[in-house]
């Protein structure tokens, strides 16, 4: 069965600093990988997804993620964080004939001015 781990419950960064949110998955073959963002009081919104091809994926709002098969990771990055990026971030994985993603527990991003 597929699973995903987000090791960091909370991450605090200063506005303008770079960001990396970690995501590790467990799945035997090539997975389908997603990052979603949830702003307070709202539903989840897709930031980016990886299905195949280039392992560096560009998403909305200036985010990118890199698929590293050797490390079973799909970390989310942004070179310069804005205060409006404060939110909950979820990594998700699907595969193995099941197209239903399994979500991680989420990482809460706090941005200091």
Partner 1 sequence: DAGVIQSPRHEVTEMGQEVTLRCKPISGHNSLFWYRQTMMRGLELLIYFNNNVPIDDSGMPEDRFSAKMPNASFSTLKIQPSEPRDSAVYFCASSSLEGQGPDTQYFGPGTRLTVL
Contact yes or no for 103/4 (Cβ under 8 A): yes
Q: Does 101 bind partner 1 (CB under 8 A)?
A: yes
R_g of the chain, CA atoms, integer Å: 13
Among 57, 65, 89, 106, binds partner 1 (CB under 8 A): 106
Binds partner 1 (CB under 8 A): choice among 23, 89, 90, 107: 90
110 touches partner 1 by CB under 8 A: no
Element (H, E) at 65: strand 64-68
Record the tokens describing residue 50, joined without a space: 């990886």
Single out the segment in contact with partner 1 by CB under 8 A; choices: 14-22, 40-48, 58-66, 67-75. Answer: 40-48
Is residue 3 part of the contact set for partner 1 (CB under 8 A)?
A: no
Closer by beta carbon to partner 1, 87 or else 101: 101
Place of tokens 């993603």: 101
Helix (H, G, I), strand (E, B) or coil at 84: helix
């Amino acid at each position: 069965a597929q699973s995903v781990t987000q090791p960091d419950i909370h991450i605090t960064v200063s506005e303008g600093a770079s960001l990396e949110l970690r995501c590790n998955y467990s799945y035997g073959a090539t997975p389908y990988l997603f990052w979603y963002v949830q702003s307070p009081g709202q539903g989840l919104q897709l930031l980016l997804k990886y299905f195949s091809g280039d392992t560096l994926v560009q998403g909305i709002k200036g985010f990118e993620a890199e698929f590293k098969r050797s490390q079973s990771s799909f970390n989310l990055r942004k070179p310069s964080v804005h205060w409006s990026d404060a939110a909950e971030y979820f990594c998700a994985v699907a595969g193995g004939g099941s197209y239903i993603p399994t979500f991680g527990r989420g990482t809460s991003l706090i941005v200091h001015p």
